[in-house]
Amino acid sequence: MKRIAVIFDNQLRPETTGLYVRRALGEMVQAGFLESVEHLLPGELDRVVAGQFDLFLYVDDGIQNTIREDLRPAVWWGIDSHLDFERCLKMAAQCDVSFTAQRELNLTDCVPIRISRIVERSQRSEAEDASATKRHKFSHKLQ
């Protein structure tokens, strides 16, 4: 996976989490782990062709509630899933993989999942969380 499209609307709220995701993925491009990362507004998806990107990462912006069926694989990161559950559930149902930032909310229990393996941070033990934090700090040192 080398080309990632990060989709979120930052016009209404410029400080949205999507900006931080885009910035972090940009660092991975600079380090040579990814070929390219492009931020797209949801309204710009009509100019994208299937196969143009290897991954379509939809970052919750509190607005978007549909995706294009032909742009795959589609991953959705629900940030404020506790605020508008129905919208979040709709997004999760459309994507191949979904993540939520709210530990107590597990959309995978509510949605038919297209991919059998779902990575849930809420299912990690504290030891795994500590190990992941150490790996993250180490990888930043390498960059």
Domains of the chain: 3-142 (3.40.50)
* Averaged confidence pLDDT in the chain: 76
> What confidence tier does 103 reach under pLDDT thresholds 50, 70, 90?
low
With a CB cutoff of 8 Å and minimum separation 6, the contacts of 5 are 37, 38, 40, 48, 52, 53, 55, 56, 57, 71
pLDDT for 130 equals: 52
pLDDT confidence band for 120 (50 / 70 / 90)? very low
pLDDT reading at 93 higher than 50: yes
Highest averaged pLDDT of the listed ranges 27-41, 57-71, 80-94? 27-41
Compute the average pLDDT of residues 47-51. Answer: 94
Tokens of 18: 């999507």
pLDDT at residue number 105: 54
- Residue type at 69 in one-letter notation: E
Which helix (H) or strand (E) element contains residue 40?
strand 36-40
Question: What local confidence, expressed as pLDDT, does residue 65 receive?
Answer: 75
Q: What is the pTM of this model?
A: 0.70
The confidence score (pLDDT) of residue 87 equals 85
Asked if residue 134 has pLDDT above 60, the reply is no
